Amino acid sequence: MSHQILPIVERFLRESDIPPSVFGREAVKDPRLVSDLRAGREVGSKLRQRVADYIDAWRAQKTAGTTALIGDRRTIAGRLRAEAVQSSAKASSVPRADQGQRP
């Protein structure tokens, strides 16, 4: 049974960039969920449903633009730094009105 949910979880982890332990903790209060699934853990229908509900809710929040960054502090800080660099690079490539020709 876990073979049915593991590919879904793996795909979601790549999509969301959420660390496996954080995903397990957030979805079902079990930080070892993903590592156990990878090791062959069998899960019941209730747990599969909780995982599916979490993934659906996360995707709905992402579509609505209300998804919060989830992960450990280092991962979040790295993402925020990368976004700041990208934003400043975009801002510096846009010509400003005061950089025009002088009369």
Would you list the DSSP string of 7-66?
HHHHHHHHHH---HHHHHHHHHS-TTHHHHHHTT----HHHHHHHHHHHHHHHHHHHHT-
Q: Span 57-82, mean pLDDT?
A: 70
CA distances in angstroms from 2 to 29, 46, 59, listed in the order given: 17, 12, 22
Domain layout of the chain by residue ranges: 2-88
pTM of the model: 0.64
Q: Span 20-48, mean pLDDT?
A: 94
* Residue 34 contacts residue 26 (beta carbons within 8 Å): no
Percent of the chain scoring above 70 in pLDDT? 63
Query: What pLDDT does 1 receive?
Result: 45
